[in-house]
Structure 1
Amino acid sequence: MKVKAVLTRLFFALFVALTVSTSALAQDADEALMASLSKKLDLDITAIADSPVPGLKQIFTDRGLFYISDDGNYFMQARIYNVAGSIVDETENALKDLRIKGIERFAESAIEFKADKEEYVINVFTDATCGYCRKLHNEMDQLNDFGITVRYLAWPRAGINSQVYRDTVSIWCSEDPHQAITDAKAGKSVDDASCENEVAEQFKFGQRIGVSGTPNIVLPNGSVIAGYQPASVLRNTIKDSI
């Protein structure tokens, strides 16, 4: 019995050592692949993981989600659907997780219009110069009455270092950001202001999850509405997504 116990412990130790070694080798290979792709494609790669399709990995970048063959020779932008049973959009599911986890980082730096009787929280990438963003903002009271809290994330459409970006920073750094963004969306000017802020980080995160215009509404389950919906329609869309 003692010999058997010793052999069992040795086998287990060998198994653990091999598992750790294999994991370390795989991590090294992934890091080498990320470095090579970043250099070749001029991409900021934030993460790499196995995809649902054997032979493909999914890579999260500053310009969205892409796929790469295990040997690193083939790079593609695609959507993967699992059709084994009911049709499942695997790419969207990966992005949902990324959106939900990433957005929580900005909970404190978002401009939040909180519902008194909150039932849902939506995150909206917005630009004060965007016509449909203004239309959505005009329905804020109705959205809040529906129990929908709105968190605004900055997405200046003209990009970082544009005048729109500088105006967005002024909104976020205002003594009263709620009033400043309301004024800006009414076409009023906002006094210049500066402070430590996460406007650029919010914009870059939006790019990583595929935001290409505003408003871009991230629902509680991580799915996205790319564009404006009236408050009553948006409420039903949120309910249907839960």
Structure 2
Amino acid sequence: MTQFNSLRRLTALLSTFVLLLGMGSQAAAQASDVNKDALAQSLSEKLQLRIDTIADSAVPGLLELYTERGLFYASEDGNYFLQARVYNVENGVVDVTENSLKQMRLDGIDKFKDSAIEFKAKNEKYVVNVFTDATCGYCRKLHNEMDQLNELGITVRYLAFPRAGINSGVYQDAVSIWCSKNPQDAITKAKAGEQVASATCENAVAEQYNFGKQIGVNGTPNIVLPDGSVVPGYQPAKALQMALEQAAG
């Protein structure tokens, strides 16, 4: 069964690559300039999708679309729209799409550096950004290891991801945590099952949640490593340290 699944994934990978290679060759032959602003407006209207940025991709003639729902591709004439993985097989197999997503994650997270709830390691070696929900069991388990994580040199920065969505009770709890006088203390109490005093303020909870959805977060904890790669789910402190060391090369 494992061999069958591996073969199926490889077949899908090669099919995607061949499709994109053919499109790239066709578009390269046309070699036309693209008005990316006009194309973004046209595709947004056709697809009812907010497009934040359009950039050239590694495949000639294929464009990367950074949207409110994640990363997509389109042909330069705007007639073809794809949700796919792009691989470079020139020297081994390199996941080009994942590399683009890594940068997308890092660029987005950087916007929240002043609104994250941070638990800083004294001898900081790594910084991880964690999409979290105070009611999530595995988020609580991760938080219980905060002292160990910090001792290992891992700084944890929390971003809000209320799983029930905006305007839910969990969302209002997240706002109260982020708006409390001491957010670190508030999130620690909430993850211990204690009630957090209601509070409101100008906050980035909704923006953090929407960004999480944009980059494919569908559960918590969702851990973004310093290189932009993702650990989807709880990892014990030592296992997370190993993942960080591997990501750092």
User: What TM-score comes out, normalization by structure 2 length?
Assistant: 0.84
Find the aligned partners of 1:182 and 1:60 in 2 and give their Cα distance: 35
Counterpart in the other structure of 1:180: 186
The amino acid across from 2:142 in the alignment is L
Counterpart in the other structure of 1:35: 41
Q: What is the Cα-based RMSD across aligned positions, in Å? A: 1.5
Find the aligned partners of 1:33 and 1:202 in 2 and give their Cα distance: 28
Counterpart in the other structure of 1:212: 218
From 195, 209, 213, give the equivalent of 2:201. Answer: 195
C-alpha displacement of 1:157: 1.0
Find the aligned partners of 2:54 and 2:166 in 1 and give their Cα distance: 26
Counterpart in the other structure of 2:241: 235
2:138 matches 1:132: yes
Find the aligned partners of 2:188 and 2:168 in 1 and give their Cα distance: 21
Counterpart in the other structure of 2:71: 65
2:75 matches 1:75: no
2:61 matches 1:55: yes
C-alpha displacement of 1:98: 1.4
Counterpart in the other structure of 2:116: 110
Find the aligned partners of 1:134 and 1:40 in 2 and give their Cα distance: 43
Find the aligned partners of 2:50 and 2:110 in 1 and give their Cα distance: 21
2:153 matches 1:158: no
Find the aligned partners of 2:50 and 2:187 in 1 and give their Cα distance: 31
Map Cα deviations across residues 163-214 of structure 1 (whole Å, 9 max, x no partner).
1111100000011111111111111111110001111111122122221211
Q: Is the 8 A contact 1:60 1:208 kept in 2?
A: no
Map Cα deviations across residues 22-54 of structure 1 (whole Å, 9 max, x no partner).
x9x63xx21121112212222111100111112
Q: 5+ residue gaps in structure 1?
A: 1-22
| Structure 1 segments of 4+ aligned residues over 6 angstroms from their partners | none
Q: Is the 8 A contact 1:123 1:153 kept in 2?
A: yes
How many residues of Structure 1 are paired with residues of Structure 2 in the alignment?
A: 218
